[in-house]
Amino acid sequence: MSYLQKSLAPAEVVVAVFRLHWTAWIRLWVVIVLGIIGVAALLLARIAWGAAATAVIAIVIAAYQWLWLRGIEQAVTSRRVVHKIGIVSRMTTELRLASIETVDLRQGVWGRIFGFGNVEITGRGETAMALHRIADPIAAKREIESAYSAHIESSQPGSTS
């Protein structure tokens, strides 16, 4: 069970989960490809100990990168925006919908071409949160703003919720 599911309050529901864009996984694939090339080159040069050391280093780096990427959870619920990093150790940033002031989109040229970007959310005071390398950041921004609007409307005096 994910952190997000474990941390839901009663009557709180997940509105949207934001996935990382495929470009966030490029480092992992570069490590794997370079590791394979390094091992093959060292085996061709008949340096078995170097090939073994290169394989171990590449596996450790790739495993670390894979775990780091798998440990990222980003979502909006009916009450808050959640950004969680980590599996063994955990760091979370949560921003209540009621305290959101702005939702900004940062998307460079490559982000526009490949469909990724950062969504930056600022709250009251010094609170800020950034969701990095989000696939379809415009939809993510829209989901956060829709959840915010629904939350504000449901908390207005005289609402039927």
pLDDT tens, residue by residue, 4-47: 999 999 999 999 999 999 999 999 999 999 999 999 999 999 99
Residues 98 and 138 in one domain: yes
Within a domain: residue 159? Answer: no
Which one-letter amino acid corresponds to residue 101? E
Residues 97 and 115 in one domain: yes
Domains identified in the chain, total number? 2
Which one-letter amino acid corresponds to residue 45? A
Residues 107 and 80 in one domain: yes
Give this prediction's pTM.
0.81
Shortest CA distance to 38 belongs to which of 47, 28, 29?
A: 47
Domain that holds residue 121: 3-20+74-154
Residues 91-112 pLDDT 10s: 999 999 999 999 999 999 999 9
pLDDT interval class at 158 (50, 70, 90):
low
Residues 81 and 11 in one domain: yes
- Side by side, the strands of the sheet bearing 14-17 are 14-17, 73-77, 80-85, 91-96
Residues 80 and 51 in one domain: no
Residues 14 and 78 in one domain: yes
- Give the chain's length: 161
What does the CA dihedral 85, 59, 29, 109 come to, rounded to 10 degrees?
A: 40
Residues 83 and 98 in one domain: yes
